[in-house]
Amino acid sequence: MTPNIKGALLMNGSMAAFTINDALIKAAGAEVPLFQMVAMRGVLATVLVYMLARNLGALHLNFPRHDKWLVAARCVAELSATFFFLTALLHMPLANVTAVLQALPLTVTLGAVVFFGEQIGWRRVLAIALGFLGMLLIVRPGPEGFSIYAIYALIAVVSVTIRDLITRRMSIHVPSLAVTLATSFTITVAAGCASLASGWQPVPTGAGLMVACAAVFVLTGYLCSVMVMRVGDVGFVAPFRYSSLIWALALGWLVFGDWPDSVTLLGAALVVGAGLFTLFRERHSHTEE
């Protein structure tokens, strides 16, 4: 299996796992408070990843101090993304929130320009602008369509962008499972502390099973999201991120009976189209070099 094929499979697996997790959390969120739910899911996910990392001998921390700081910063970015994304998810249709996240290739490209000094041409600048226009159509800031939860979704995009940029700066000496374990543990502890303020409520059996299943899927998503940024050509692998929108549209319709209106679908199409063009131009420029 070539690195590109492996990366594509990991990206598809990551997007499917995260989207199924999102659907389970959204469904369970109707009966369980957010922080309690994240803490419950986190305990299960952390135990599972710890057992896996221990069996594979990936618990060592003997990597450079610079990488340890990057792991810590990545955990903070993931914590921010989890809070803002899940809060938006519980109050917005699944497909709408997922569509906003499709801007990540654009924001990562922009972040690489701002923070890493990478150069991009006018075509990619135009594509990024069109992608952001598409995001505005999705969140629709105005008297009729605007809500604070749309802002939460945008903050989640910024947080995930920072997370991915940090991941790309890590050396190959950092085990992916160690990063996954640190991330899961950080989110679990933070959610557990926050849940103590509001108190825990009894959990219905159905909701408990959904949270348990979500723990398995979010663990799979975490692991794949770390591994996918470290294998294959980014220009080849990254377009498969958009498979999450297909999952979100299908699950949103089947599970929640939601289907985006034409304006939201137009915005999603602009975001996806701009992202694909940006990735194509990035790959083309690397080929020319």
How far apart, in whole angstroms, are the C-alpha atoms of residue 79 and residue 127?
29
pLDDT tens, residue by residue, 35-89: 999 999 999 889 988 888 888 787 777 778 889 899 999 999 999 999 999 999 9
What is the rounded distance in angstroms from the CA atom of residue 213 to the CA atom of residue 149? Answer: 25
Q: List CB contacts of 191: < 8 A, sequence separation 6 or more.
A: 35, 36, 38, 39, 42
Of 71, 100, 70, 106, nearest in space to 84 by CA: 100
Question: Each residue of 249-274: pLDDT tens digit?
Answer: 999 999 999 988 898 899 889 888 88
| pLDDT tens digit sequence for 175-226 | 888 888 899 899 999 999 999 887 888 999 999 999 999 988 988 887 787 7
C-alpha 40: how far from chain center: 19
Helix (H), strand (E) at residue 91: helix 65-91
Other C-beta atoms lying within 10 Å of the C-beta of residue 203: 18
Q: How many domains does the chain have?
A: 1
> Which residues constitute the domain of residue 257?
3-288
Distance from C-alpha of 105 to C-alpha of 110, rounded to nearest angstrom: 9
Rounded to two decimals, the pTM is 0.82
Confidence category of residue 158, pLDDT binned at 50, 70, 90 = very high
